[in-house]
């Protein structure tokens, strides 16, 4: 009987835990939201970071993986798709509201092989909606997404693209 009840309430407990905002002080100080901002929501991003094999701008005889853009779905605490994240960087809600961000600060991710954590300022560039009141975004809890090994980018493979899987939490902050 107890196991049956636990099976029924476990999804509710999990959804409640995921919907609970994380503390603002669990990130390095340069990545903390500004005074007067409050956490609006936390979205999970599941997708890829796209890289292209290119010659270095300042050293044309040297090739490297260059970051092109992210491509990810944004999911709420219940796992429902609520938007997408793509080049710009841009975050677009299913309701048409859209943000463009600019990096303000970055910190190395605590996990090996994970893209950095970021603090981004945002500008609303879409319709009024769920993302309209967002003034900054934190990218935290990243897994994966770093450029492929350098050996896969050679002069023979210039122009080749690689899509590297990643996940991250995007914390959307707004003015109080």
Lowest-pLDDT range, 9-13, 37-41, 130-134, 153-157?
9-13
Alpha-carbon distance of 51 to 43, in angstroms, equals 24
10 within a domain of the structure (yes/no): no
51 within a domain of the structure (yes/no): yes
159 within a domain of the structure (yes/no): yes
| Nearest CA-CA partner of 86 in 98, 103, 104 | 98
105 within a domain of the structure (yes/no): yes
24-75 per-position pLDDT tens digit? 568 999 999 999 999 999 999 999 999 999 999 899 899 999 999 999 999 9
Q: What are phi and psi of 14, to 5 degrees?
A: -65, -45
169 within a domain of the structure (yes/no): yes
pLDDT of residue 129: 96
Q: Domain range spanning residue 152? A: 34-175
* Percent of the chain with pLDDT strictly greater than 70: 86
pLDDT of residue 13: 36
90-117 per-position pLDDT tens digit? 999 999 999 999 999 999 999 999 999 9
| Nearest CA-CA partner of 110 in 137, 148, 139, 143 | 143
144 within a domain of the structure (yes/no): yes
Q: Which two tokens stand for residue 53?
A: 């094999």
Q: Are 139 and 59 in contact (CB under 8 A)?
A: no
107 within a domain of the structure (yes/no): yes
Exposed (0-12), middle (13-18) or buried (19+): which is 20, by Cβ within 10 Å?
Answer: exposed
Please state the domain count of the chain. Answer: 1
Predicted structure pTM score: 0.84
Alpha-carbon distance of 21 to 52, in angstroms, equals 36
């Amino acid at each position: 009987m107890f196991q049956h009840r636990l099976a029924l309430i476990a999804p509710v407990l999990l959804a409640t835990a995921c919907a609970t905002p994380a503390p603002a002080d669990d990130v390095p100080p340069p990545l903390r939201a500004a005074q007067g901002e409050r956490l609006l929501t936390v979205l999970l991003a599941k997708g890829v970071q796209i890289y292209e094999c290119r010659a270095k701008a300042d050293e044309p005889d040297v090739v490297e993986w260059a970051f092109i853009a992210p491509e990810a779905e944004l999911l709420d605490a219940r796992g429902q798709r609520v938007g997408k994240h793509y080049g710009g960087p841009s975050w677009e809600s299913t309701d048409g509201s859209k943000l463009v961000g600019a990096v303000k600060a970055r910190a190395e991710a605590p996990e090996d092989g994970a893209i950095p954590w970021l603090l981004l300022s945002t500008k609303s560039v879409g319709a009024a909606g769920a993302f309209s009141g967002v003034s900054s975004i934190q990218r935290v809890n990243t897994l994966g997404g770093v450029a492929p090994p350098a050996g896969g980018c050679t002069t023979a493979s210039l122009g080749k693209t690689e899509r590297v899987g990643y996940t991250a939490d995007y914390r959307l902050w707004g003015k109080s």
